[in-house]
């Protein structure tokens, strides 16, 4: 099981044993990590599971498709490391990945 570290905006760090095949968002919620709302339940349709993937993990986390791009485009705090965690599928390759959570979801 890949270990993934999520760091809240206030600095609180959570390392979870993530289940491969599920999204990062699902894994975070199932492990009780705060800071992700996921209002739409994983349909890439609300933008409330926004996270920042540490640069060196970006290639392994995959690429945002057109819909995710469109949703990320509405985020005032978007950066080059922005992803929607519901669109990142956890794989063994992501073992050790670090992602940061934003100040707020909207």
SS3 29: helix
Q: Which of 19, 34, 45, 93 binds another protein (CB under 8 A)?
A: 45
DSSP state of 90: -
Closest separation in Å from C-beta 24 to another protein: 18
Closest separation in Å from C-beta 44 to another protein: 7
List binders of another protein among 24-43 (CB under 8 A).
Answer: 37, 39-41, 43
What is the spatial distance between Cα 2 and Cα 9, in angstroms, rounded to a whole number? 23
Which segment (12-20, 56-64, 66-74, 83-91) binds another protein by CB under 8 A? 66-74
Stated as kind and residue range, the H or E segment containing 25 is: helix 24-30
Give the residue with the Cβ less far from another protein, 19 or 40. Answer: 40
> Residue 6 contacts by C-beta under 8 Å, 6 or more apart in sequence?
13, 14, 15, 16, 28, 33, 35, 51, 99, 100, 101
Give the residue with the Cβ less far from another protein, 68 or 83. Answer: 68
Closest separation in Å from C-beta 63 to another protein: 18
DSSP state of 89: B
């Amino acid at each position: 099981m890949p270990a993934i570290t999520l760091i809240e905006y206030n600095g609180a760090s959570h390392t979870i044993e993530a289940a491969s095949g599920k999204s990062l968002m699902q894994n975070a919620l199932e492990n009780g990590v705060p800071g992700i709302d996921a209002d739409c339940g994983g349909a890439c349709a609300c933008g409330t599971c926004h996270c920042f993937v540490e640069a060196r993990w970006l290639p392994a986390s995959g690429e945002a498709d057109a819909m995710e791009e469109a949703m990320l485009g509405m985020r005032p705090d978007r950066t080059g490391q922005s992803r929607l965690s519901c669109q990142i599928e956890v794989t063994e390759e992501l073992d050790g990945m670090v992602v940061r959570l934003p100040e707020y979801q909207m």
